[in-house]
Structure formats: C-alpha cells, structure tokens
Amino acid sequence: MAKAKVAFVCADCGAEHTKWQGQCATCGEWNTLREFILPKTNQAAGRGTPRGGYSGESPRSARLVEINTAGHRRIPSGFAELDRVLGGGFVPGSVALMGGDPGAGKSTLLLQVSTALGRDVRVLYVSGEESLEQIADRARRLELAADALTVASEVTVERVAELVQSEKPALVIVDSIQVMQVQTSESLPGSVTQVRESAAELVRLAKQTGVAVVLVGHVTKEGNLAGPKVLEHMIDCFMMLDAPPGSRYRTLRGLKNRFGAVNELGVFAMTDAGMKEVSNPSAIFLQRPKEMAPGSVVTVTWEGTRPLLVEIQALVDDVQGGYPRRVAVGLDAQRLAMHLAVLHRHCGVSLADQDVFANVVGGVRIGETGADLALLAAAMSSFKNRALPRDLVVFGELGLTGEVRPVPNGQDRLREAQKHGFTRAILPRANRPREAISGIEAHPVASLAQALGVINELPPVDATP
C-alpha cells in the first residue's frame, strides 16, 4: 500500500497545509494545525466496496440524454416549507447538512420528518447526542407515530454504514456530524479532522448505496459551523435553521443546493407540539399595531422563489457621544452607511450628527438589494418624526448616483403586496406594471430624490411622537 499521505488542517478555519506551522497562514490563529491522514490512501483497507477507478471496470462516459435519471425520484419530507428549501424533497444518494444554533429545533424537526415519513419509506434516525430513551420520550411528548421508525444511538461512522447495509433505509438522519467519528482515524473526536473524515465517509456511503443522508451540524459562537468550510464543498445541500432570540419563529434558509434554487426560505414556528410550518409568512412578519409610528415601513423582499413582506424599522436620533453610529440588524450595515452618503450627496440631507439604527422585524435577514429604498424611507420617516401610511409598501435598489434601480420580479412583489391589502407602492420606474394592478396605486420613481418627493406628498398620518 502506498505511504499514507498527510495534511495539516487548521481546527479553526479548516484550511489545509502541506507542512506543520505554528500559525495558520489562512486565518492567522496559533497552534490550530492538526495532522490529518488523507482518507484516499487507506480507503482500500477493509472498507466496503472499492470506489470507482479501482473496480477494474473501464471508465464510463455517456451522452447526457442517455443517462437515466428516473431512479432519482425525490423523497418529499412531508413539510412543504422544508421541501421548498430542498428543492422538492430529499434526493437519493445525496447529502444535506442542516446547521443551526443549539436549541433551534433541528432535532425536533428532523424527528418529526422521520416519523412522518417512516410510514412510506424506511428511515434510520441516528443520534449520537441523545439516548434512545430521550428520543422515544420526545416522540411520545410530540405524539409522533413512532411505530415505523428505526432509531440508533451511535457515534461511529462504520456502525452507521453497517446499519445502512442491514436496514436498507431510503433516508438516514445523523444527529450530529460533530459527535461522529471514524474508528480508524487517529484524531480526537469532535476535532475538525474527525468531522471532515466522518462526513467524507458518509458522503461515500450515500453515493454508493443511494441512501439520502441528512447531517445535523451545530454552529459555534462565531457563527461558523464547527468544521463547516471543510464540509460545504463535500455536501450537496446546505441549509441553516435560524432562531432569532426571543422569537418562536424559525427560518430555514438554503445556502447551497446542487438540486434546486439557493436562498430559499422556509418558515416554521416552534410550538408545544413541535415545529409547525408557516405557510403564509408575510402575514406573521407584518403583525403591526393599528397606530403607525414614525420609522416603520414595509418592503417586499424576494426570498428564493417567492416574495416576502417584512417591516423595516429605523431609529434616527442625535448622536449620543463620540461619532455617529450606524447599526443594522438583519440588513447590511455597510449598505446602510453607503445609502446615507447617497442621501447626503444627492438629496442634501445630512445625518452626520445622528445615530442611525435599522432593524428587520421578526428576525428576518434580508440578503438582497430590494430593501434599499425602504430602509431610507424608514430612516427619513424617523428623522422627520413623520409616520408613513399603513397601506404603503416600498421597494427598489439604490445606486450610488442616487438612481433607483429595478429589482427582479417586480410584478410578483406588487401582487404580493396587493394580496395583503396594501394600496400604495413606491417602486423603481423600470418595474412599473405594464397593466395596472387593481387595488394598488403604483408610484414609479427613477431617483431617491423623486421617491422622497412622493413620500412628502402622501397624506399625513396621525403620528404618535
């Protein structure tokens, strides 16, 4: 057998180096490099079927149209919101990773999925974190039909592979990848190298047996999945379950998907009876008081393949000591600073002696530019202490020259707003509807100055100071 190849992997960022160094050249951390035996050279030793290339068969190429994909039927999860993020269900032979903070509800959701699916397809639920009694207890408390589900409390990948060979499930849940280990590996359980080797073995298992694998991963306090960067390129689908502090709503976002759209958003609520899906998320993120306060405006963002109405709030107040602060939660703070510069340069409004805070209500994170205009509308509303009408929705991207740029899916955004009872919209001129949408008055604008002009002419609202 060839001499085992080694690499040195940083336990912090997962970067790989060929030589040991005291400091990781990628992330700059000290004493984080760990020796890591590359699985490639020891794969033949007693591990299942050899991989392609060692099989003695000649390499295979084919015309794309001749490849039969009928066998790749998806397994619907039973939750429309999860299927949306997955792109239509679990894909046989693929590996999906669900990350999230401890307590976000990953185990709960996946146990619900497993038991719901267990009736129709074989599911194996492997937990390295909880005992079988704890899992059974949770299932009983949630009144899940546990009769059809096989569970195992295991931490070694080899045992999981054996179980897959003997039970032949269509879906395996591994909770969590951080506690899994490869017996033959020398590195410590929980270390980045173990996580990486375990994941590599499970990916191989999925490809060889056609089982769909779902891995659970915990997020570290820096917001990284422990050993995540090393996992991201191995897996087919990466989704994050976010739990905003103090909220019972959970958002599941697709960050990578080889079989579907990314940035899809699924919304759930954590209840006494486990995770419940929220099929009309616009409605929950828009629960606003009757009386409109200055600094609040509603925008329509585009999340994956659907529009979502969210409220943006801003607070503009005299600088409290030192330099002005620009804080954005759920939005990009850099963009906020940039927009304030545009506001000054092109509309003559200076907020240099003001602190500006912005927040997206409900813990939603907006990753697109369609909220730019709404953010400034909210800031101006707070600055002038003038509430905006309740039935107004604002969207559009802002350019550095003060122009309002179009956003994708303008018509669908407008229709979503109209569906939720909005009667006025400020939107980019290039997005103005070709045919009027009944019940909604569109105010197309080409520049920020024009948008502020429209806002000024809106009928006044009884604002509570």
Residue 112 C-beta: closest distance to ligand TYD, Å: 9
Q: CA-CA distance, 123 to 393, in Å (whole number)?
A: 45
Q: Which is nearer to ligand TYD, 103 or 453 (CB)?
A: 103
Q: CA-CA distance, 377 to 361, in Å (whole number)?
A: 16
Helix 448-457 / helix 333-347 crossing angle, nearest 10 deg: 80
- How many residues are given for the chain? 465
100 contacts ligand TYD (rule: CB under 6 A): yes
Q: Tokens 């929950």 identify what position?
A: 284
Q: Quick count: other Cβ atoms within 10 Å of Cβ 366?
A: 23
| Binds 142: which of Mg ion, ligand TYD, none (CB < 5-8 Å by kind) | ligand TYD
Q: Answer whether 7's CB lies under 8 Å from 38's CB.
A: yes
Out of 28, 52, 102, 223, name the contact with ligand TYD by CB under 6 A: 102
Dihedral (Cα; 142, 147, 148, 150), 10-degree rounding: 80
Residues 258-297 that bind ligand TYD (CB under 6 A): 270, 272-274
Out of 28, 50, 52, 103, name the contact with ligand TYD by CB under 6 A: 103
Contacts of 225 (CB under 8 A, 6+ apart): 97, 99, 217, 218, 219, 231
Residues 129-158 that bind ligand TYD (CB under 6 A): 138, 142
Stretch that binds ligand TYD, among 102-110, 156-164, 278-286, 419-427 (CB under 6 A): 102-110
Stretch that binds ligand TYD, among 101-109, 150-158, 292-300, 310-318 (CB under 6 A): 101-109
CB neighbour burial string for 193-223, b if at least 16 within 10 angstroms, e if fewer: bbbbbbbbbbbbbbebbebbbbbbbbbeeee
107 contacts Mg ion (rule: CB under 5 A): yes
Q: Which is nearer to ligand TYD, 274 or 362 (CB)?
A: 274
Helix (H) or strand (E) holding 99: strand 95-100
x/- site string to ligand TYD, residues 337 to 376, per CB under 6 A?
A: ----------------------------------------
Q: Which is nearer to ligand TYD, 106 or 253 (CB)?
A: 106
Contact residues toward ligand TYD (CB under 6 A) are: 100, 102-108, 138, 142, 270, 272-274
Contact residues toward Mg ion (CB under 5 A) are: 107
